[in-house]
Chain A
């Protein structure tokens, strides 16, 4: 009747542990998960409210557009999606995922695309381009002698902010830089630099501070995207500092390992090229509704009702993280498994199963 169960917070990329309180199969709250090495039972408000995701705006049945969206059974929904996908050329098919699917879903989706010969695939990377270097582990942040932070970590990713606070208590020097006049991270740093552009800020940085081999220096980059992000990476990459870029979604880092990272412009380009789109987890209608109008047939897989769902031709109801078994890779590159805790509502099912069944209906062997 009452169950307290471990899971990983899905609300940002730090990867904190959190316990869900389940009463009569319904998530009713969270409980501190003190054994978790990342956050030791501490969660920010977003993390403690994460249980609400399980209860809000859920999709419970497959839907099919017949004028309006109507409830149909799985067989019919998958059959329709499969026959539509088969009626297009491979190059006319697009697949986009979000940064909060599980690693297992990315793997399955990747296999699906490869087997089908679809090249127009990627995930909404929120403008953070793919990178490939060893990032700083969270413990290094805490043990640093010097930390440079771009972005408001304390406010946006509090349990990473906590590591900065612990470093400070251990005597580290903290410098923060950001656009606003004042930030929470700024007022808790030894120095705050209000910047106008990252490039001019980087030009003025004293590299000596960063290159002192005697000390452990960490640079945390958050809130930057596209060119700014790439420039900062380049700037620090061949110095001896440890870098920790902060991604937005709970598994953007995992997605990056398996699928192409697509910026908003790249997503728009993809939409120009394709006629049928399969969306898993993302909500493209919320940021490129215009581009979606070119799409002839829209298949959406999600656990909740969003704008894209409302525009779709076929809707496949998936599961929320706590309703399936899988793993997320946090922003520091650490992969953490989590177990299924509750059943998905109504006729919703596990996302990997949906992708597999869709493939099967198309006659694909994954």
Chain B
């Protein structure tokens, strides 16, 4: 369908106040639960502090208010959580573009039922690893990370808010130059607006107190219309100027991401001898495979006796990572999870993202976005 732009705001005052922008996302969730259109909503709640995002399934609409707000230091992944544990209910979920990409790939592989899920997309400028965030707040902001009550990313700055209301900000460029800031894969990520979800919600182009929504699917359109009719949200049309501003920021972000792709995947890509060093460390813990939302094969080839040979100190990279590469690299959505969880600090996402990018350049297949399966996909894996 033709994309449609609108500004939305929760009618419920508390949701509007506690929401990141206009609380529209939360209001939509509340509507879906109240009308029993879904059995549960999968979102993120704040745990001990702003660096601690905990996936939470909300079944009672009164609890939605506790999940309001964006957590930029919570690089979570919802794809496999849904395919493995929430496949038996009708679900609505807040998704960053990488969550939406993973879900899309899983839908194509019949691991998630597209008819049973509402994907409420959040635009995403990137996420920061929690411990990295804490360290950089100490170093660059000269603030005790425990004193931060809220954080946001705006106009190229990572901004923190303290209990007394003061704000402090540092340019993300500066942080990233020094090895802090967003995760490397986020720096390379060029899907900033999740047009692979039902709605794409964000602050770009929004007025204060409103959420900018790009309606992507018919399902999303119906949802917004009905939520409005039933008194859950107020809706208005954004100005042409706002739409243009949003588009401009998106383009700047995509350009920046491409620059980072060149940097991480070409210029600074580890040399073969660096990879040898990395593979030497691999402890064959399978964390990278298990966390990858695209790797879902129930009987993984990697568990055949050959690979779990105890005597071998480090697995031969060509066999171990090679199996994974040959099975799924075309579909890598660059979510960065494999790298995040690797106990041995191996920059895994770089390999997979690089391969998908090459494949994409050759075939036009964009993982997590294209409707079809990658041309080399073998369906016996399902």
| Residues of A in contact with B (beta carbons under 8 Å apart) | 1-6, 19, 21, 23, 28-29, 31-32, 34-35, 37, 39-45, 48, 154-155, 158-159, 161-162, 165-166, 169, 182-184, 187-188
Contact = CB atoms under 8 A, between A and B. Distances in A.
Contacts of A154: 281, 283, 344
B340 to A, nearest CB: 6
Interface in B16-71: 40, 47-49, 51-57, 59
B40 A165 contact: no
Contacts of A4: 54-56, 81
B355 to A, nearest CB: 23
Q: In the complex, which of the residues B280, B343, B345 has the most CB atoms of chain A within 10 Å of its own CB atom?
A: B343
Contacts of A6: 47, 54
B75 interface: yes
Interface in B321-341: 337, 340-341
Contacts of B345: 162, 165-166, 169
21 contacts: A1-B57, A2-B85, A3-B56, A21-B85, A23-B85, A28-B85, A31-B81, A32-B341, A34-B74, A34-B130, A35-B47, A37-B131, A43-B287, A45-B286, A48-B285, A48-B287, A48-B290, A182-B313, A184-B283, A187-B314, A188-B280
B46 to A, nearest CB: 10
Given A23-B85, A48-B287, A182-B313, A162 B56 contact: no
Contact of B344 (A19, A35, A165, A182): A165
Q: In the complex, which of the residues B49, B284, B341 has the most CB atoms of chain A within 10 Å of its own CB atom?
A: B341
A130 B285 CA distance: 32
Q: In the complex, which of the residues B75, B130, B342 has the most CB atoms of chain A within 10 Å of its own CB atom?
A: B130
Given A40-B130, A162-B343, A184 B313 contact: yes
A40 B85 contact: no
Contacts of B314: 184, 187
A29 B283 contact: no
Chain A, interface SS category: mixed
Interface of B: 40, 47-49, 51-57, 59, 74-76, 81, 84-86, 89, 129-131, 280-281, 283-287, 290-291, 313-314, 337, 340-345
A23 B51 CA distance: 25
B75 A2 contact: no
Nearest to B282: A184
Q: In the complex, which of the residues A37, A39, A44, A159 has the most CB atoms of chain B within 10 Å of its own CB atom?
A: A44
A48 to B, nearest CB: 6
A154 B283 CA distance: 8
Given A4-B54, A21-B81, A37-B131, A44 B47 contact: no
Contact of A31 (B51, B55, B57, B74): B55
Nearest to B55: A4
Nearest to B283: A158
Contact of A158 (B40, B51, B53, B285): B285
Given A48-B287, A48-B290, A43 B343 contact: yes
A23 B55 CA distance: 13
Contacts, number: 105
Contact of B85 (A29, A159, A188): A29
A35 B287 contact: no
Contact of B129 (A3, A34, A43, A159): A34
Contact of A44 (B84, B281, B283): B283
B281 A165 contact: yes
Contacts of A34: 74-76, 129-131, 340
A6 B55 CA distance: 11
B56 A187 contact: no
Given A44-B283, A48-B290, 16 more contacts: A3-B56, A5-B54, A32-B291, A32-B337, A34-B130, A35-B49, A40-B131, A41-B129, A42-B287, A43-B343, A44-B285, A44-B287, A158-B285, A159-B343, A169-B345, A188-B281
A147 to B, nearest CB: 15
A42 B341 contact: yes
A352 B229 CA distance: 56
A162 B57 contact: no
Contacts of A32: 291, 337, 340-341
B344 to A, nearest CB: 6
Contacts of B54: 4-6, 19
A31 B290 CA distance: 10
A41 B59 contact: no
A45 B57 contact: no
Contact of A43 (B56, B313, B341, B344): B341
A44 B285 CA distance: 6
B237 to A, nearest CB: 38
Q: In the complex, which of the residues A4, A5, A165 has the most CB atoms of chain B within 10 Å of its own CB atom?
A: A4
B375 to A, nearest CB: 32
A354 B286 CA distance: 39
A101 to B, nearest CB: 25
A187 B55 contact: no
A23 B47 CA distance: 19
A35 B341 contact: no
Nearest to B84: A29
Nearest to B346: A165
B36 to A, nearest CB: 15
A40 B129 contact: yes
